[in-house]
Amino acid sequence: MFDKVRIGSLLDRIENSILLIQSKSGEINCPDDFLLSQDGMFILSGICMQLVFIGESVKTIDNKTNHSYLIKYTDIPWTAIMGLRDIIAHEYHRIDEEEIFAVVNKDLISLLKIIQQMKMDLETIN
């Protein structure tokens, strides 16, 4: 069995990161908006930092649960989340504003729903 409190805390922090990204990216209407101003570039940088945190938290959850928890939620590409974290953290020059825009406007919506479901499910685990 794994530490439910620790996993719950990580899920809370992932949820908060997603909500922060959503609240701060409202003025970004297309991928180019990240690059056309210093404000856009600052927003891109902040989003990337939160995505690194999300990816690292996903890795931690996977490790702390002996790879038994995330596999229950097959609608989310967990490996891709961890991979994006690696690209942002180690290959910053490969960041693609179109991919980040898609993550913010599509993928994070799905991830938020699953994270919220995971938090509810965690409460029922003995």
Predicted local distance difference test score (pLDDT) of residue 93: 85
User: Of 59, 45, 20, which is closest to residue 37 (Cα–Cα)?
Assistant: 45
Burial class (CB in 10 A: 0-12, 13-18, 19+), 49: middle
Give the pLDDT confidence score for residue 122 in this predicted structure: 94
Q: Which domain holds residue 17?
A: 2-122
Distance CA 97, CA 45 (A): 10
Binned at pLDDT 50, 70 and 90, residue 46 comes out as very high
**Confidence tier at 49 by pLDDT (50, 70, 90):** very high
Position 92 confidence tier, pLDDT thresholds 50, 70, 90: confident
Query: How far, in Å, CA of 15 to CA of 48, rounded?
Result: 15
Strand, helix or coil for residue 60? helix
Q: What is the mean pLDDT of the chain?
A: 96
Grade residue 33 by pLDDT with cuts at 50, 70 and 90. very high
Provide the number of structural domains found in the chain: 1
How confident is the model at residue 121, as a pLDDT?
Answer: 95
Q: What is the pLDDT of residues 57-84, one digit of tens each?
A: 999 999 999 999 999 999 999 999 999 9
Closest-CA residue to 50 (of 80, 27, 24): 24
